[in-house]
Amino acid sequence: MTDPHNSSSITNFDAEFDALPSASVEKGLTPLPVTQRLGRVISGSLSRGLEVRLDRQVTTEELAVGSYVVIRGQQKRFFSMITDVQLGAASDDLLLSPPDLSDPFLREVHVGVSTFGVVHLTPMLALEDGQPKPVKTVPAHFSEVRQASQEEVSEVFGEEGYDKVRDTHFFHVGNPLDMEDVKITLDLKRFVERSSGVFGKSGTGKTFLSRLLLAGVIRERVAVNLIFDMHNEYGWEGSSEGVTKRVKGLKQIFPDGQVSIFTLDDESSRRRGSNPDFTVTIGYDQVEPDDLEMLQDIFNLSDAQIGAIYALHRRLGKSWLANFLDDDWIDSWGDPDDENDGPANGLKALADSLGQTYQTLAALRRRFERFRRYGFLSAKTHSDAVARIFQYIDAGTSVVLEFGRYGNMLDAYIFVANFLTRRLHQKYVEKKERAFGNQAEEPTPLVITIEEAHKFLDPAIASNTIFGTIARELRKYNVTLFIVDQRPSKIDQEVMSQIGTRVTALLDEENDIRAVLMGVSGSEGLKEVLARLDTRQQALILGHAVPMPVVVQTRAYDLEFYKAMGYHDEADLPQRLASNVERMRGSADFEGFD
């Protein structure tokens, strides 16, 4: 009989407890994976989470907020996240008069007995009969808590490359904290089913995360991408804070025609070695009032000026913008007189004919002076950028649109993204409706990537923009958004509620954290986790593409990753050729056919 008051007896009791057969063994089922036991559940509730007293051999320094553990109940296994780490003591008197733990005997007596570690767990998912289910109860007192194994993680998240017959598309995004040998995957098919987003403060690697995820989407061919590449980081190569300073872009990783580069600035693209497939130009005659209305705040346009734009379009048709920016055309409008110079008189006459004020049109012309700086805009163009992009996308080729020097002009970025997206969305609507009832004719699912997303999805304008429409449609026309932003709190709440999968790096603004976790069960515990992420290569993933929230150390974006995506280094070509020749030859003893 063990004495519960003796420290060595407690150790013996732990050993005896571990030796007992598990419920799965008693039932004749496959034994559960053997992993390190951390402790036992001592209290808690479904709403507040569970308290776990750590075993004496487990120190609090070994455990980190955001790590994953499994609680093995009598009938279920509860996947849980550590949301807090605490120190406990059997008596407050001990804290008032701390023992001398430099004495080995006193240390053996106190550590794990009168002083111990406690972790707070939030149950995220229950495994019952091998099936992940929502948590609706809690495990019993003294249920053991263990580290999660790769087998258990795969049961919940799926396994990359597993069971392709069932059309699964799991993608390895990283490892749980402090579990380097365990892989976390997300379901890319579910990832593109709804709009998704990458969030994080400046400098946390949002572009790195986005490029990683987009590479997975391209490799698995679950959708095609249109990437509005503001800072030229996705197409040919991108910047890195590592030793190499430069990393491969998507076209280098997928050189077999899966990715094409379009550009607004051919000179900049060629200088960087990206060799674009097409240079995008937009004609003044292609610009419509709807393309400019969402730029009202960016261009500082008044409601009267927006009304004047529509009036000009009604009167002058497609030539409205070219004529309005043409000084000679304005000079020729109306009769000159002695009181005003030609241009002013012409502009006044035009204003009178449109029922607008002279001051409104004069201010509008000053606002439109920026168009003259846009080298991708011209009075006439013989190319149709929308048709060309749609041609590539319809063939299953992802398009990266580089902005070159215009990436630093937010107004140019928003104008072009809105201009192209409105028209591509309309083409998708038309093709989807023509294919009604014939799934084979439906357009290829399209994911549109935009940076600085809050500028497109501000609460004041989100309901009127094409991007807000796409987010609310929930892939009705096979188009979804992939938004990248550092201020999610500035995005319209209705739009944020439609973001199916959220990949979130470190955020430190309370409003931003609240916006990302809006509508998520257990958000209070996740706030602590999110606020303690490292500044690089750590992210909290939650939503439609994962069965439960998970914190990951993201996988490295390096040569090993490139090869996993299918890239072949030139240095490997001779070895691959020799290997292929050997396979074709077969056995060395083969002397030909009879």
**For residue range 58-74, what is the model confidence (pLDDT) as tens digits?**
989 889 888 889 999 99
The mean pLDDT of 463-467, rounded to a whole number, is 85
Residue 49: the pLDDT is 93
Residue 103 has φ and ψ, to the nearest 5°, of -80, 115
Instruction: With residue 551 as reference, give the H or E element that holds it.
Output: strand 550-554
DSSP per position, 39-93: EEEEEEETTTEEEEEEPTT--GGG--TT-EEEEE-SS-EEEEEEEEEEEEES-HH
pLDDT per position as a tens digit, 179-189: 888 899 999 99
Q: Which residues contact 381 (CB under 8 A, 6 or more apart)?
A: 281, 282, 283, 286
Reported confidence tier of residue 94, pLDDT bands at 50, 70, 90: confident
What percent of the chain has a predicted confidence (pLDDT) above 90?
57
- pLDDT at 551 > cutoff 50: yes
Residue 22: the pLDDT is 45
Residue 579: the pLDDT is 63
The DSSP symbol for 111 reads B
Residue 563 has φ and ψ, to the nearest 5°, of -65, -35
Residues 566 and 99: beta-carbon distance below 8 Å: no
Q: Which residues contact 439 (CB under 8 A, 6 or more apart)?
A: none
Reported confidence tier of residue 574, pLDDT bands at 50, 70, 90: low
Of 233-242, 285-294, 412-421, 472-481, where does mean pLDDT reach its minimum?
Answer: 233-242
Reported confidence tier of residue 578, pLDDT bands at 50, 70, 90: low
Q: In terms of DSSP bridges, do strands 479-485 and 446-451 run parallel, antiparallel, or are they unpaired? A: parallel
Q: Which residues contact 446 (CB under 8 A, 6 or more apart)?
A: 223, 224, 225, 226, 393, 424, 428, 478, 479, 480
The residue among 294, 283, 360 whose CA lies nearest residue 322 is 283
Residue 590: the pLDDT is 47
Q: Which residues contact 215 (CB under 8 A, 6 or more apart)?
A: 250, 253, 254, 561, 565
Query: Which residue has better confidence, 537 or 130?
Result: 537
The mean pLDDT of 95-107, rounded to a whole number, is 73
Residues 301 and 367: beta-carbon distance below 8 Å: yes
Instruction: Starting at the earlier edge strand, list the strands of the sheet with 479-485.
Output: 184-187, 170-176, 550-554, 538-543, 501-504, 196-199, 479-485, 446-451, 224-229, 398-402, 259-263, 278-279
The mean pLDDT of 460-468, rounded to a whole number, is 85
Residue 582: the pLDDT is 65
- pLDDT at 342 > cutoff 60: no
Task: Give the whole-angstrom CA distance, residue 57 versus residue 39.
Answer: 10
Task: Give the whole-angstrom CA distance, residue 488 versus residue 485.
Answer: 6
- pLDDT at 338 > cutoff 90: no
pLDDT per position as a tens digit, 234-248: 999 988 776 567 899
Task: Give the whole-angstrom CA distance, residue 550 versus residue 80.
Answer: 10
Residue 405: the pLDDT is 93
- pLDDT at 589 > cutoff 60: no
What is the Cα Rg of the chain in Å?
A: 31
Query: Which residue has better confidence, 78 or 36?
Result: 78
Residue 143: the pLDDT is 96
DSSP per position, 307-341: HHHHHHHHHHGGGHHHHHT-HHHHHTSS---SSS-
Instruction: With residue 122 as reference, give the H or E element that holds it.
Output: strand 115-128
Query: Which residue has better confidence, 239 or 398?
Result: 398
The mean pLDDT of 92-103, rounded to a whole number, is 76
The mean pLDDT of 142-151, rounded to a whole number, is 91
Residue 27: the pLDDT is 43
Q: Which residues contact 492 (CB under 8 A, 6 or more apart)?
A: 457, 458, 459, 462, 463, 468
The mean pLDDT of 253-264, rounded to a whole number, is 94
Residue 4: the pLDDT is 44
Q: How many CB atoms lie within 10 A of CB 575?
A: 9
Tokens 């261009």 belong to which residue? 299
- Mean pLDDT, rounded, of the chain: 86
Q: Which residues contact 356 (CB under 8 A, 6 or more apart)?
A: 304, 307, 308, 311
Of 245-254, 448-457, 530-539, 578-587, where does mean pLDDT reach its minimum?
Answer: 578-587
pLDDT per position as a tens digit, 499-525: 999 999 999 899 999 999 998 877 888
From the centroid of its chain, how far is CA 163?
Answer: 25
The mean pLDDT of 407-435, rounded to a whole number, is 93
Reported confidence tier of residue 162, pLDDT bands at 50, 70, 90: low
Which homologous superfamily is 184-260+378-566 in? P-loop containing nucleotide triphosphate hydrolases (3.40.50.300)
Task: Give the whole-angstrom CA distance, residue 524 versus residue 47.
Answer: 11
Residues 193 and 569: beta-carbon distance below 8 Å: no
From the centroid of its chain, how far is CA 525?
Answer: 21
Q: In terms of DSSP bridges, do strands 550-554 and 196-199 run parallel, antiparallel, or are they unpaired? A: unpaired
